[in-house]
DNA sequence: AACTCGGGGGC
DNA sequence: GCCCCAGAGTT
């Protein structure tokens, strides 16, 4: 039996019951595909359900503020997806009458929709015969055909797209594409797949030549940089605190955080206390002077008081590992002794979108009193 | 073409 | 620890 026929047969017998498979509405397909970019189904599913409940239609999402979208996205990572999601929702709702583009080429014009996502939506929602190429497809094709092209090289996507296109049965693009991905996710898994029960074990080039664990070839390795963050949880006379929006380019764009002091390396607790004290006592930037590149502005820093007490809130540094940055984070409580205009209540602060590592700390720190902190397990 | 962008799970 | 996950945008 030909490849696509066997694959689709396998798919119909093994596919998971996933919420976005109950519809072919482009809005829901689009939402699921954006969420699942570089994201496991198990991690994305609860977010999909939350979003559909909060925004039943693209018009509902378009009417919401970006901050609400980011808050719902909190913890899912790659936040540019959420920003582009919202921008596209507004574009579709306000410039396209609430209707998504009806073709691969049209979908490709939307923010956050690249080759893969445009092909996924076009094939699943409209039945357009365009092949998807994601991590699963690279793996399945590289193994089945014994393709040794480095999948991180520039020409790989074109090559694998052409191979997938020759296999794609016209009229069954939706099933074929989803079957390729489901097969990669459930059977042809990255590590130690159980080839003994694989429907292709009599014809898979990688299996027949003992190269299953060598394919696909991926050479590029991401280099990791270490960063050292000190977050200052200000506590003013009213028990309120200060949060800032990250507006600079880089990680966590448009999310919120506490006033941040980043250092070049690890700094002792004593030395850091001095740096924090100096931070609040630095003279105000003269009006009219532009803020130094990468430095917080005067308003963002809520200076104008001398800390009454500075306390390290957790003896162990919190290591937060991103794919390309390892963050070593310390949280400090800085008691202001006076009331600050810029400060907000803890309950109000929790409503903003935060990086999950900060949000998790807030939840734990504010659920305990200070005396419990050092005995609490905050890992 | 190389970099950047999160967070979690599997082994 | 390392790798991968229904990738896309920027430089």
Each residue's pLDDT, cut to its tens digit, for chain A (379 residues) gives: 799 999 999 999 999 999 999 999 999 999 999 999 999 999 999 999 999 999 999 999 999 999 999 999 999 999 999 999 999 999 999 999 999 999 999 999 999 999 999 999 999 999 999 999 999 999 999 999 999 999 999 899 999 999 999 999 989 999 999 999 999 999 999 999 999 999 999 999 999 999 999 999 999 888 899 999 999 999 999 999 999 999 999 999 999 999 999 999 999 999 999 999 999 987 654 444 444 434 444 444 555 789 999 999 999 999 999 999 999 999 999 999 999 999 999 999 999 999 999 999 999 999 865 544 444 443 3
pLDDT of residue A222: 85
A22 touches strand B (CB under 7 A): no
Q: Which residues pair with A262 in a beta bridge?
A: A229
Domains A3-214 and A225-285+294-375 share a fold: no
Can you tell me the distance from the alpha carbon of A23 to that of A34, in angstroms, rounded to the nearest whole number?
A: 16
Q: Is A33 a catalytic residue?
A: yes
The three-class DSSP label of residue A234 is strand
Can you tell me the distance from the alpha carbon of A328 to that of A194, in angstroms, rounded to the nearest whole number?
A: 39
For residue A53 the two structure tokens come to 């409940």
Q: Among candidates A132, A115, A98, A133, which has minimal Cα distance to A27? A: A98
CA torsion, ordered A21, A67, A333, A273, to nearest 10 deg: 100
CA A327 to chain centre: 16
Domain ranges for chain A: 3-214, 225-285+294-375
pLDDT of residue A284: 56
Q: How far is the CA of A285 from the C1' of B2 (A)?
A: 38
A79 touches strand B (CB under 7 A): yes
Task: Please give the sequence-ordered ranges of beta strands (E in DSSP) within chain A, or none if there are none.
Answer: 225-235, 244-245, 256-257, 260-263, 309-312, 318-321, 325-335
Q: How far is the CA of A4 from the C1' of C1 (A)?
A: 38
Strand A325-335 relative to strand A309-312, pairing? antiparallel
Nearest-CA residue to the C1' of B8? Answer: A43
For residue A29 the two structure tokens come to 């397909």
Can you tell me the distance from the alpha carbon of A281 to that of A298, in angstroms, rounded to the nearest whole number?
A: 11
pLDDT of residue A301: 54
Q: How far is the CA of A88 from the C1' of C6 (A)?
A: 19
Of A33, A128, A175, A333, the active-site residue reads: A33
A190 touches strand C (CB under 7 A): yes
Nearest-CA residue to the C1' of B11? Answer: A191
Can you tell me the distance from the alpha carbon of A253 to that of A269, in angstroms, rounded to the nearest whole number?
A: 29
Nearest-CA residue to the C1' of C9? Answer: A112
Nearest-CA residue to the C1' of B7? Answer: A77
Closest nucleotide over all strands to A222 (CA to C1'): B3
A40 touches strand B (CB under 7 A): yes
The three-class DSSP label of residue A257 is strand
Phi, psi (rounded to 5 degrees) for A58: -65, -30
A84 touches strand C (CB under 7 A): yes
CATH number given to A3-214: 1.10.340.30
Residues lying close to strand B (Cβ under 7 A), chosen from 123-162 of chain A, are 153-155
Q: How far is the CA of A150 from the C1' of B1 (A)?
A: 14
Nearest-CA residue to the C1' of B5? Answer: A78
Closest nucleotide over all strands to A322 (CA to C1'): B6
For A225-285+294-375, give the CATH class.
alpha beta
Q: How far is the CA of A270 from the C1' of B4 (A)?
A: 34
A245 touches strand C (CB under 7 A): no
Q: How far is the CA of A347 from the C1' of C10 (A)?
A: 37
Q: Which nucleotides of strand B are protein-proximal, with an atom < 7 A from a CB?
A: 1-11
Can you tell me the distance from the alpha carbon of A272 to that of A17, in angstroms, rounded to the nearest whole number?
A: 52
Q: How far is the CA of A184 from the C1' of B5 (A)?
A: 24
């Amino acid at each position: 039996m030909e490849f696509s026929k066997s694959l689709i047969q396998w798919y119909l017998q093994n596919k998971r019951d996933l919420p976005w498979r109950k519809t072919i509405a482009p809005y829901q397909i689009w939402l699921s595909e954006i969420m699942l970019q570089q994201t496991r189904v198990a991690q994305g599913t609860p977010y999909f359900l939350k979003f559909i409940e909060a925004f039943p239609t693209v018009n509902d999402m378009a009417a919401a503020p970006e901050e609400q979208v980011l808050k719902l996205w909190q913890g899912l990572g790659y936040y540019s997806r959420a920003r582009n999601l919202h921008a596209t929702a507004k574009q579709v709702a306000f410039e396209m009458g609430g209707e998504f583009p009806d073709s691969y080429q049209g979908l490709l014009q939307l923010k956050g929709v690249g080759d893969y996502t445009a092909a996924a939506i076009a094939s699943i929602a409209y039945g357009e015969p365009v092949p998807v190429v994601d991590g699963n497809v690279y793996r399945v094709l590289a193994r089945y055909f014994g393709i040794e092209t480095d999948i991180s090289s520039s020409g790989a996507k074109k090559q694998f797209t052409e191979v997938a296109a020759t296999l794609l049965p016209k009229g069954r693009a939706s099933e074929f594409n989803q079957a390729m991905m489901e097969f990669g996710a459930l059977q042809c898994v990255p590590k130690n797949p159980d080839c003994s029960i694989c429907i292709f074990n009599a014809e898979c080039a990688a299996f027949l030549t003992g190269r299953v664990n060598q394919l696909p070839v991926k050479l590029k390795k991401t280099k990791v940089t270490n960063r050292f963050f000190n977050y200052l949880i200000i506590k003013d006379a009213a028990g309120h605190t200060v949060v800032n929006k990250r507006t600079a380019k880089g990680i966590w764009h448009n999310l919120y955080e506490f006033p941040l002091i980043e250092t070049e390396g690890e700094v002792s607790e004593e030395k850091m206390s001095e740096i924090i004290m100096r931070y609040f006592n630095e003279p105000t930037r003269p009006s009219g002077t532009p803020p130094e590149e990468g430095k917080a502005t005067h308003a963002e820093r809520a200076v104008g008081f001398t800390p009454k007490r500075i306390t390290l809130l957790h003896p162990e540094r919190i290591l937060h590992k991103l794919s390309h940055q390892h963050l070593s984070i310390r949280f400090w409580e800085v008691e202001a002794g006076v009331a600050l205009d810029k400060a907000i209540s803890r309950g109000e602060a929790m409503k903003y979108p935060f990086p999950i590592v900060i949000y998790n700390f807030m939840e734990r720190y504010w659920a305990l009193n200070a005396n419990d902190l050092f005995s609490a397990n905050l890992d």
